Amino acid sequence: MGLDDRLLNSSSDRAGALNEAKRESGDDQNQNTEAPLSLREAVQAEKRKQVISDAKKEGKMSGAINQAAAPMRKGTSRLLRQAWLHLIDSWGFTLIWINIHVFLGTIFGERFFCKLGAEWMDNNIQSANMEAAKKLGDKGRIAEGAGLACCNLGCLFIIISALAIAGAVIGVIDNPLRALIALLKGVFTGWTQWE
C-alpha cells in the first residue's frame, strides 16, 4: 500500500467519524453558524443575522407607527361616517370629503384612512365581534363604492347642466337679437306642428 492510499484512508476515516459525531450531537446546523468553514459562509451568516435584526426593528417600528396612527385613523373614520350620514343635509357637499378620503386612502394606505365600509366596523370591533365586523365591512365596501360612483356621476350631470345653462345665458347676453330670433323660430315651429 502506497503513501497516497494510506493518507486517503485515514482522512476518509476521520471525516466519517466527524460527520457521525455531528449527527449524534444534532448540532450540525448550529456548528455551521457558529464556526463557518469559509469566508463565503461567514458573510452569509452575518447577512442572515442582519436581516433578522432588521426585521425585529421594523416590527417594533411598524407597531409603534400603527399605535401612533390609530387616533388619526379613528378620527378620519368618524369624519367619513359623518360625511355619509349628512350627505343629504349638506346638499351633497360632504361628497367632497368622501372623495378626498378615498384619494388619500390610496396614497397613504389604510394606516391613516380606512377603506370604504370600514368606518362602520368600529363599534363591532370594540364589542369583540370581529367576524360580524368583517362581514359588515365587506358589504359596506361594496355598497359604499357603488353609492359613491352614483353620487359622483350625478354630480357630473349637475355640473354639465349648470354649464349648459350658463352657456345659454351668456349666449343671450352676448347677442340678444340672435337669441330672440332663435326663440321665435322655435315657438313658431312649435305652433305649426300642433296645428
14 in a domain, yes or no? no
Return the DSSP state at 35: S
pTM: 0.52
Q: What is the pLDDT of residue 155?
A: 92
Q: Are 86 and 118 in contact (CB under 8 A)?
A: no
137 in a domain, yes or no? yes
- What is the tens place of the pLDDT at every residue in 105-128? 888 877 788 888 777 776 555 555
Report residue 2's pLDDT band, with 50, 70 and 90 as the boundaries.
Answer: low
pLDDT above 60 (res 29): no
d(CA 42, CA 146): 57
- What is the tens place of the pLDDT at every residue in 31-77? 444 555 677 788 788 888 877 777 676 666 666 666 777 788 888 88
Residue range(s) defining the domain that contains residue 161: 23-194
Mean pLDDT across 20-39: 58
142 in a domain, yes or no? yes
69 in a domain, yes or no? yes
37 in a domain, yes or no? yes
The number of folded domains in the chain is 1
Q: Are 101 and 79 in contact (CB under 8 A)?
A: yes
Residue whose C-alpha cell reads 407607527 in the numeric block? 65
